[in-house]
């Protein structure tokens, strides 16, 4: 028996979904088809690629991770050959790891444009922290990633989408909202609501540490919009990199943005893929959509009035 593209595709789907049932839903096939494909692939290779449990789904073995990386490459090349044969535009599924704050502010617009320009491409967006995105692209769990400062990882190739910097968000009634620029030292006695996703936590704490300050952390949460709602209600302040164009919380309460001093270093929103793998036509199409939309997607540089 030889390895088939169907086996590789079903194995990749299961690895990315983390379960047989999740892969079956994504591939629009039965769970038994996914399980049989993995069984056949393991039989051909003579390897155990994953450990299956009812409670936790599947977990890749080290050999499974190695096979996944190779499978992703084979499937990408096969898709490129099919596109040449059809003579049409990009097609297939692109699995994107996206930093949580960039999903509603950047990826939603990119998705809408992709649907118009490239209707044969299906996007599957997974909200993840930066470290998870880097690891997912490296292992083949993800086709590409969108996060801040991915250019520092040599195993990835990247394209800069736009630059921005960390800033404070406050309710309009906050005493510091009267200032156009907020001193870091004036924040330390105020309750900080920390964005609990890597590297936001590290970046925020590193900023204060560089200033010789220790902030008073009230609470931490990975939910971008929950933080904005708490800030709008005057519960505390937060430091964000991403600056949505909508200056209202989900509840319709206003939020103001203020620059910081000392001024934080610039942050770059980056699109990344594995350095040793050629981009598929669908991934290239998504990259181009992001680059074309960059002027519109970039946060405002001006201060609130």
- Domain containing 127 equals 89-162+267-305
pLDDT at 149 over 70: yes
79 and 195 share a domain? no
Question: What does each C-alpha distance from 178 to 171, 227, 256, 261, 304 come to in angstroms?
Answer: 10, 21, 10, 15, 11
Distance of CA 62 to the CA centre of its chain: 24
Q: Based on the structure, what is the number of domains in the chain?
A: 3
258 and 282 share a domain? no
pLDDT at 96 over 60: yes
CATH code of the domain in which 44 resides: 1.10.10.10
Residue 156 in contact with residue 261, Cβ under 8 Å? no
Give pLDDT, residue 143. Answer: 92
How is residue 198 written in tokens?
Answer: 């890597």
154 and 271 share a domain? yes
pLDDT at 55 over 70: no
- Taking 3-state DSSP, the helix, strand and coil percentages for the chain, each rounded to the nearest 5, stand at 45, 25, 30
CATH code of the domain in which 277 resides: 3.40.190.10
pTM above 0.95, yes or no: no
> Residues 188-219: pLDDT tens digits?
999 999 999 888 888 999 999 999 999 999 99
Tell me which residue of 242, 100, 233, 95 sits closest to 163, measured CA to CA.
242
Give pLDDT, residue 85. Answer: 60
205 and 257 share a domain? yes
Residue 25 binned pLDDT confidence (cut-offs 50, 70, 90): confident
Give pLDDT, residue 187. Answer: 96
Query: Which residues face 97 on adjacent strands?
Result: 126, 145
Task: Show which of 59, 87, 115 is a domain's final residue.
Answer: 87
């Amino acid at each position: 028996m030889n390895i088939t593209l169907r086996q590789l595709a079903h194995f990749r789907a299961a690895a990315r979904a983390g379960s047989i049932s999740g892969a079956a839903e994504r591939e629009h096939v039965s769970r038994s088809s996914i399980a049989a494909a993995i069984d056949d692939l393991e039989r051909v290779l003579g390897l155990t690629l994953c450990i299956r449990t009812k409670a936790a789904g599947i977990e890749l073995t080290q050999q499974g991770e190695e096979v996944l990386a190779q499978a992703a490459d084979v499937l990408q090349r096969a898709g490129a050959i099919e596109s040449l044969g059809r003579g049409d535009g990009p097609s297939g599924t692109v699995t994107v790891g996206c930093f949580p704050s960039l999903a509603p502010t950047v990826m939603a617009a990119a998705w809408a444009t992709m649907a118009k320009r490239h209707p044969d491409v299906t996007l599957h967006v997974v909200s993840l922290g930066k470290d998870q995105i880097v690891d997912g692209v490296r292992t083949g769990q993800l086709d590409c990633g969108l996060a801040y400062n991915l250019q520092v990882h040599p195993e990835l190739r990247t394209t800069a989408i736009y630059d921005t910097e960390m800033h404070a968000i406050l309710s309009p009634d906050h005493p510091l909202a009267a200032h156009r620029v907020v001193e870091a030292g004036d924040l330390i006695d105020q309750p900080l609501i920390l964005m609990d996703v890597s590297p936001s936590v590290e970046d925020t704490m590193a900023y204060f540490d560089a200033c010789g300050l220790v902030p008073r952390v009230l609470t931490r949460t990975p939910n971008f919009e929950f933080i904005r709602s708490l800030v709008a209600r005057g519960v505390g302040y937060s430091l964000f990199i991403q600056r949505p164009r909508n200056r209202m919380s989900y509840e319709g309460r206003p939020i103001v943005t203020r620059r910081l001093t000392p001024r934080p270093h610039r942050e770059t929103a980056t699109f990344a893929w594995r350095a040793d793998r050629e981009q598929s036509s669908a991934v290239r199409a998504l990259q181009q959509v992001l680059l074309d939309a960059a002027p519109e997607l970039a946060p405002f540089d001006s201060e609130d009035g």
